[in-house]
Every structure is written in C-alpha cells, then in structure tokens.
A and B are shown apart, each in its own frame.
Chain A
Amino acid sequence: MKGVSRPPPRHTEAAAQFAAPERRVEGRLKVTGQARYAADVHLKGMLWAGFLTSPRPHAMIVSIDTAAARATPGVHAVLTGADVAPARFGRRLLDWPVLAWDRVRFIGDRVAAVAAETRAIAEEAARAIEVQYEDLPAIFDPQEALRESALTLHPDASQYAFLSGTRAPLPHPNLQGYHLVQKGDPDIEQAFARADRVFEHTFTTPRQHHGYLEPHAAVVWIDPDQIVHVISTNKAPFSLRAQMAATTGLPPERIVVDSGFIGGDFGGKGLSFDEFACYFLARATGRPVKAVMTYADELLATNPRHAAVLKLRTGVDRDERLVAHQAEVVFNGGAYAAGKPLPSLVMEGGLATLSAYRVPNTRLEVKTVYTNTVPGGHMRSPGQVQAGFAGESHMDMIARALGMDPLKFRLLNALRPGDEGPAGEAIREPRAVEVLEALGRETGWGVKALPPRHGRGIAVAARHIGGGKTSVTLRLRRDATIEVLTGVPDQGSGAHTLIRRVAAAVLSVDPERVVVTRGTTATAPFDPGAGASRVTHIVGRAAQAGAALLKEQLEELAAEVLDYPLGDVRLEDDSFVVGDGSAGRRAFAEVAERMTRGAPVEVSATHDATSHGSEPRDFNFAAWMVEVRVDPDTGQVFLQDAVLVVDVGTILNPIAHRGQLDGGWVFGLGGALMEELPVEEGKVTTLNLGEYKLPTGMDLPPLRTVALPTALGPGPYGAKMAGELSNVGVAPAVANAVADAAGARVMTLPLTAERVRRALSLIRG
C-alpha cells in the first residue's frame, strides 16, 4: 500500500452500509457475566502472589529477612531480587527490575514476592518480610535530575537490554529519552529575530491514572512441556511475549500469551508488571500463580500519564502570522523508562504543541527524565494531552495579547493543503480550517451574546492515525460460519465487532455468519496490539483484504460445486447467485456444506502500514468549544455548553465510534478539572478512587458532537481513528473559556477552583 496514493473510495455508499447500529460480538457474554477476565481465572493448584514494596523513594537494600514469611503456613515460595537478578522488564528499554536486588528507586518498587495458597496468606507473609534500607538522596524533580552534579539514578544503564535496535546516546545519564525536531531555519534564534513580537509561557501538567475499571491481573503457569502460559490483561500480547522472552531468556516460542477480555485500557494495559514475577514464582513452585492488583496498587505503582513542564516560545510577524515556535517539553519519567514503547523513549505527542498550524520554523525538544517517582507510561494521546494544553493555551494568550479574536487568529495560522506540520510531517488532508470554520458556525462564535461571568474558549488539534503491520486468517467452517482469526485483543473498543462488520460487508454475508476469534500468541497471526489508534486502520484493512480474497475463493468453489463456469457465481446478500440471477439463488449454508468437504477453505491477509520516510501521514483534526461560568468568589468553574467538531472517516461501528468521541471528551474533562495523581516526597497521595477523582455523570455539560466526514481515511472504506482525539483539546478549551469569563489565566492542570480563585485574586490585585 505504501507509496501509492489511495483512490477515493465510494464513500457515501460505504457510509450507508455501516449506518445501522452494531451488535457487539461479545455483548451477550459481557452483560450475562460470562465473559472471563484474567482476574476470573481459577486453575487447579493455583497459588496467589503477594508483594512487598519499598516504602523508600531511593535506597540501597542492605538486607532482607524472609524467614518469617517462609515459615508462614500456606506459603510455597518467597523470592527476592537475588533470586531473579538480573531480570528487568520494559516495553522497549528493560530497566525495571522484576524485584529490586541492590537498590529501590521509588515508593512502590517491588522487593519481594510470595506465592501462597490464598491471597490473604501471600499478603500477610509479604508483610512479614523485613528489609533494611540505607537511604540515598532522592530526586523528585526532573530539573534537579538534569543538573550536572545530580546523582546518577541508573549507574548500570549501559547493561540494560533494548528491544529491536540500540539506544541512542544521551547527553545526561538521568535522561531516559531525548527527541529533537527542527524545521526551517537551523538556528531558531535567527527565525525569532525576524518576528515582530515573541511570546513565552510555561505550563505544568500533572500525572494522571487511566482509570480503567479492571486492574492489572495475570495468571502464569509452566506446563510439562516447559511452555510458559500467560493469561494477561496486556493489550499487546505479542509485544508482551517479546518482552517476557527478553526478561526471562526463554525463546518466544516457549511463551504463550493469552489476553482475553480486557476491562479498559486507555494505554495503561500496554505495560505488564505481575506477569514477570508470576513467572518466577511459577518456576519456583511448579504451580500456576495468579496476581490481581488492588486499585491502591494501580495508583501507587503502575504507569500513569507523565507529569510535564512545557516551556513555549512563539514569534509572530506584523500580520499576526506565526514565524517561529520553540517548545521545551520535560516529562517526569519516574524511576523507570519501561512504560515507553517508542525507540526514542519519549512521548512523541509532546511535539504536538501547535499540531494544527503552519509554522515555518520550529525547534521542538522533548525530554523524559529519571526521577525517584512512579514510572510514567502511555495514556490516551500520550504526550499530546500535555502539549495540547500548553500549545492551545499559549495560542489563546497570544491572540489576546494581539487583540485578535482567538478563532480568527487560529484560522489565519491554520494548516492548509500543501503545508507541512510543525514537526515537518507531510499531511495527507489538512482539515484544520474546515473544523475551525465549522466550529464557528456551530457555536455562533462572535455572534451569540453571553450572560455575565460566562466565557467561551476554543482549541484545535491534529493527531496522527497509527500504523503498523498485522494479519488475519479467514476460514469457512463446516457449520457455514466464517471465522476470522486475529491476534488483537478487544479492550472494550469494539475492534472485534468492527472486524465482523467489515468482513461481512466485503463478503456480502449476514454479519451473524462471521465469527471473530481472538487467538493467543500461539494460535493467531502476529499483531502489534491495540494502541496508537491503529486498530481500525490496520486490523480493519487486513480483515477487508482477507474478506476480499475469501470471497473470490468462495465464488470459485461455489461455481465448482454447483457445476457452473468460473465467474458465473457471485456471493451476494448471504446467498450464491448464479449468472444473471434468473437461475435463482442458493442458500449460503447449503453451498458451504459442499465446499467444506474438500480442502480447508482458508485465506490469510496482511496489512502493512508501517510508516516510512516522507510519505504523507494520515491525521484526524478536531476543534473544541467550551462555555463556562465562573463563580468569582470561589473560582468554581461550571460547564455550560460544549461543542466538539471532529474530522471523521467512514464510521464503521456507529455506537462505539460515538462512544469513543464522547467518552474521550469526558476523559479530557477529567484532566481539565479534577484528575491529578500527586506525589509528595516520592509518594502518591491518592491511593483510592475517592481521592483520585474521575468525572461522573453529574459533572458533565451538554455536549454536542458534530462530525465532518471525509472519504480519505486510511482504514477500510475510508475509516479514520476515533480513540485518541476528542480528549486532547478539552483542557485548553476550558482554560481559555475561564480566561474569557473572568480574565484569569490558569497555566497548571487541573483547573481547580482554588487555582482559578488564585488567578482571579492576582488580577484583582
């Protein structure tokens, strides 16, 4: 598919074909409670894992006394770092010890693991382990970690394994990753010198937890053939297999990862924790070992969104056009880089400060930094949520300073066809102007009079659609069903339903005839996992291609068994049609029964959309408007109205698509107003969901989503992504609305009432 521009699909026809609301393939199992999640798995002889974690943010382990734990009745194994060293895990860089053996690097780092008959015994025994620590100076602030004299947090970094490739050299030992993109003038200062005015602002964003319902869970056992079986909540099972192979030294063929139903992901299920320790416990005991995190475990020590400090600087010329833009984005990476899958070990979404604008000269620098805090990971639009808040607040502040309407200023500078993105990306179909103009129309921007203390804010963003390579296998079964075998787990997005609908549409059969089977890493063809908004795109295209091949084969076989010339039988509306149709239709099941008597009717198809070089990339654009009322005495922000204008391709699962857009918006609202995983002296202070607040139904304003369809999405039938889009611009739109309502500018998330109140008191003097 690469290097070839796609012919525009017959868009309206395709859209009509998918207009009926989908029936979820797994719906019945879920609503009847029959869907079995990892935490529901119970195996004969199974033991439970319990862990002891470090209460110190940075310390050497002097000694560990496990005698009491070993003596606890019901305990089968007690492991410490000495038993697993040098096993480390990670998605790209393996820097996180399965159990710490020499030093602990954050509060929550695991130092011992127990396998016992029950969870209670395992936890009790873990508590009985005594550890002597010798404290080391702890570093919580990335700026401090980057000082020349700063203590090196990972003295053995050169020994860490790096999956697929080699790690680029870094200018400071406490850097996890570094990424610099420059465009236009190689000396950005020269470009700034040509600007009429230059604006500089610094923004701060907090850690956030994904807030999925299902905590991480795992069951691991080793069968008599020495095959390691892993039941996991990981949304990228083939990646986990590769990671486990690297951690354990086993060949990947000896590891089978089975990611069944997953109860929410939002990026957090890309990194596994328990699977590694459970493997060592299973090896030590010869029994299956299960671990299920509590929500306190989740909040204390998994892989939240990175806290960030973003320093932005932008120059505009006399005509209010952007001349130069510089971003220095520093992410607090926490104790380990294990949660980051990209080779650069940064969230490249951090580059997206001005994602929807034409900027001729840019210097975008993104760093992830080791500190003694909970390790950061990927979370819905990783990096871009932070960059989008900063960039779109910054743009609004500039517009205000220039005395320009914020919509007009954005439109003036929006990406247009032929423009490169700010990081130099070629963009297939820039729709920034379209979404902004539609936002203006839909909201009566500049026309509608607002009541006192009300204000409106807008934001715009572009986010790329993920690629990668995946395959599916389709097979006609004896019961006249068509099985599609895939390796991608459905973490709730509706991916498997999408596969069914696409395959059924291509084949022209009843969707109920298509059965989607998710295989394990042993039975399914390779798949890179759910994430990066790639699934609709690549799995959808693989299903589409496979279904086309199968249709061809079915029609040929049907001609054969019905004794007609090749090419005279078509599969149409769930039956086989002969010639011009005057000879009647044959029921699918009847013909299928005869076709399956011979060799297996099976096809495989691969879709490869691995991005290469300067080929145009696919993006979704979106624009946000939020209207707020601000209580001047308290700083409380009340959301009055919200409009989301969004660039969509052909919508394949109408209910799930809407759910992604609206749900993403609410996800963004949580980040805007309440979500914050604070760390004090290295310790996360919100260890339950009563303290770590997520939005509830009562917190939501009326939200209107306006879709602007295009035929040019890279997915099947021109589909685009929907998962990591609508959350990006909520926070800046709210911040801009607050500034509009009350004149108070808040540059730190979340926009708590107190922060707004403080900003108000600053302007009141």
Chain B
Amino acid sequence: MRSFEYLQPRSVPEAVALRQEHGDEAHLLAGGTAMVLLMKQDMVRPSYVISLRALTALKGIRGLGDGGIEIGALVTHRQAERSLDVQNYCPALAEAFSRVATVRIRNQATVGGNLAHADPAQDPPPMLLALDATLVLAGPRGERTVPLDAFFVDYFQTALGPDEVLTTIRLPPLPAGTRSVYLKYSPRSADDFATVAVAARLWLGPGNTCEEVRLALGSVDSVPLRVTSVERALTGQPLTPRVVREASRLVTDAVHPIDDLRGSASYKREMACVWTERALTRLLDGAGALSP
C-alpha cells in the first residue's frame, strides 16, 4: 500500500471542499472494507484519504412523515438490518443488508460506501433499485438528487462527481400491501458474493392483477440491473404461475453476465431466469407482505 495523507473533515461542506482541493489524488473512505482492500492490492493508490467517520449527521435512519425513510450514507449494514424503521418499511431490504458478507464486515461497512463502490455483485443495490431509491449528493453548488439506477454507470463507476459526497439514501413510501423479496443464490459457499441475486416488489390489485412491480438483479451485468422488460410484461396482468414463468424468461435477453468462478455467463443467465421466477412466485404466494 502506498502511503497517504489522512484527512478527517468535520462537516459535509468541509468534505466537499477537500474533494475540490485534491481532486483525483484523493479518495473518500467510509467503512473502508472495500477501499482498504483495493488499496492493499494497489488497485487504488490515493495520495489523500478523506475519512468520513466524523460526519455523525450521516449516521442516522429516520422515517419520513409520508411512510418513506431516509438512510444516512454512513449507516452501517448491521445498523440498517436491525433498524425497525427499515424492517417496517420493507422486510426484504433488511434481509438484503443482512446478506452482505459476515457480521464483522457488516458492523463496519456503510450503506453509502457500498453504493459508491458500485460492485454489481453486492446485495443491497438491487433491493434499493426495486424500491426506487434516490440518492442525495452534496457538492460545491449544494445538493442534487439522482435516481439510483442513474447512479450506477459501469463496473465500480458511478455518477458521483469528483467534488461530491453521497450523503443520503431516500426511499419513497410504498403502497400498502406491497410484497417484497430478496433472494441471493451463492451455491459455492454461504459466505460468498451472489452468483445471481434477485430483488423484487409487487403490489397486487383485485383478481391478483399486478398494479406495480419492480425487479432488479445483481451479479448479472456491469451494474446492478433493473429489468423493465419483465416489469412491463407483468404490469396490468392477472398473475398466474404461467404468466410469471413467461415473463421471467425475458430476463435472458436483459442481462450481460461474465464468466467467473461463480459460474459461466450462460449458467448465470439461466440462473437469472430461474431465480427471477422463484422470486416472483414467492411474491405471488405472499412473501414479505407489509401490513396494510
């Protein structure tokens, strides 16, 4: 690891100012579970490390009056998975946080750091995509909000500007009776990144008609991927196992997985369909329903 200067701003504007001052030479550090590994492997070699640990304002979770919630970027995974606000908002979101690595990592890794790392194999991003999350980014000209699916650009690349800091994850209210699910498929070991992960939520109307559905997949593309073709095929349809099966097949053309130790591209594509169908079937069976 190359040596670096460690900076610890006391406020978001101060962090932004340091970003402006040091530009490419600086890297933000939140929980550090991913960053420090990259630094140890010399894949990231910053001259300045801007630690966000003193930004206590970004360490809280709060319910918004409308039923939505806000998660501070420095909330740890462990905090998020145990938060009643998160569990009440969407049990599958708590589940997605709980599936990340081990409890030691989850006590350290932050929700914002996870998103900024932009690893398409992480657990929370697909679930947050399925929940229509938006991100608040602080910059020299104040704040802007970005929908999560516009935030992910490519492997380990995001829309976060070189002078910006991710401060908040905002989740809008969900219709009463929304069902949600997060399924992680990691067949090598229970402690592994997903071969394929599926996050979905569903709001059914009378006669099992799909009023609103979201489907997002992890580990199958260069970014955590929302699959709108499946959503479109389901929306407005009375859902039956057959409809679900046929819609799930559309995943095949939507994903672009790569060969790696967790499976060949063709296997991952096949598994993306299998697990999409399983996730949607769970929803149809009532999984993760929120009390109305």
Contact = CB atoms under 8 A, between A and B. Distances in A.
Interface in A74-111: none
Contacts of A698: 189-191
Interface stretch (A13-21, A388-396, A486-494, A750-758): A750-758
A125 interface: no
Nearest to B187: A753
Contact of A696 (B187, B189, B193, B264): B189
A120 B263 CA distance: 36
Interface in A714-765: 752-754, 757
A757 B267 contact: yes
Contacts of B1: 120
Nearest to A638: B187
B3 A120 contact: yes
A244 to B, nearest CB: 31
Given A120-B3, A634-B187, A699-B190, A678 B267 contact: no
Contacts of A696: 189-191
Given A120-B3, A693-B189, A698-B191, A678 B261 contact: yes
Contacts of B3: 120
Interface string B110-148: 000000000000000000000000000000000000000
A693 B188 contact: yes
A404 interface: no
A690 B34 CA distance: 12
A160 B264 CA distance: 42
A310 interface: no
B192 interface: yes
Nearest to B264: A754
Nearest to A695: B189
Interface in B33-78: 37, 40-41
Nearest to A691: B261
Give the interface residue-count category, chain B. Answer: 20 to 34
B261 A124 contact: no
A753 B185 CA distance: 11
Nearest to B190: A698
A296 interface: yes
A257 B194 CA distance: 45
Q: Select the residue from A124, A678, A696, A753 with max chain B CB neighbours within 10 A.
A: A753
A108 to B, nearest CB: 15
Contacts of B270: 757
Interface string B234-267: 0000000000000000000000000001011001
Given A124-B2, A633-B274, A634-B274, A699 B263 contact: no
Contacts, number: 56
Contacts of A754: 263-264, 267
A604 interface: no
Contacts of B188: 673-674, 693, 752-753
B175 to A, nearest CB: 31
B274 A693 contact: no
B217 interface: no
B36 to A, nearest CB: 13
Q: Select the residue from B37, B40, B185, B189 with max chain A CB neighbours within 10 A.
A: B189
Interface in B260-292: 261, 263-264, 267, 270-271, 274
Interface string A669-701: 000011010100000011110110111101100
Contacts of A635: 187
Contacts of B261: 676, 678, 685-686, 691, 693
B6 to A, nearest CB: 15
Contact of A752 (B2, B41, B187, B191): B187
Contacts of B190: 696, 698-699
A685 B40 CA distance: 17
Q: Select the residue from A637, A676, A752 with max chain B CB neighbours within 10 A.
A: A752
B189 A634 contact: no
A636 interface: yes
Give the interface residue-count category, chain A. Answer: 20 to 34
Given A676-B261, A698-B190, A754-B267, A634 B185 contact: yes
B264 A674 contact: no
A686 B262 CA distance: 12
A686 B192 CA distance: 13
A677 to B, nearest CB: 10
A51 B78 CA distance: 39
Nearest to A753: B187
A126 to B, nearest CB: 12
B189 A699 contact: yes
Given A120-B3, A676-B261, A634 B271 contact: yes
A636 B189 contact: no
B279 to A, nearest CB: 13
A695 B195 CA distance: 17
B187 A636 contact: yes
A21 B235 CA distance: 64
Contacts of A687: 41
A676 B185 CA distance: 19
A754 to B, nearest CB: 4
Contacts of A752: 187-188, 263
Contact of B41 (A296, A673, A699): A296
Interface string A292-318: 001010000000000000000000000
A636 B192 CA distance: 14
Interface in B176-214: 185, 187-193, 195
Contacts of B195: 753
A674 B262 CA distance: 10
A447 B189 CA distance: 31
A296 B40 CA distance: 10
Contacts of B263: 752-754
Interface in A489-523: none
A673 B186 CA distance: 12
Nearest to B196: A634
Contacts of A688: 37, 41
Nearest to B266: A754
Contact of A693 (B2, B192, B264, B267): B192
A698 B270 CA distance: 26
A191 B261 CA distance: 43
Given A688-B41, A699-B191, A753-B195, 13 more contacts: A120-B2, A120-B3, A634-B187, A635-B187, A686-B261, A687-B41, A693-B189, A693-B192, A693-B261, A695-B189, A696-B189, A753-B263, A754-B263
19 contacts: A120-B3, A124-B2, A633-B274, A634-B271, A635-B187, A636-B185, A636-B187, A674-B188, A674-B189, A688-B41, A690-B193, A693-B261, A694-B189, A695-B189, A698-B189, A698-B190, A752-B187, A754-B264, A757-B267
Interface of A: 120, 124, 294, 296, 633-637, 673-674, 676, 678, 685-688, 690-691, 693-696, 698-699, 752-754, 757
Closest 8 CB pairs of A and B: A698-B190, A753-B187, A636-B187, A674-B188, A754-B267, A696-B191, A693-B189, A633-B274
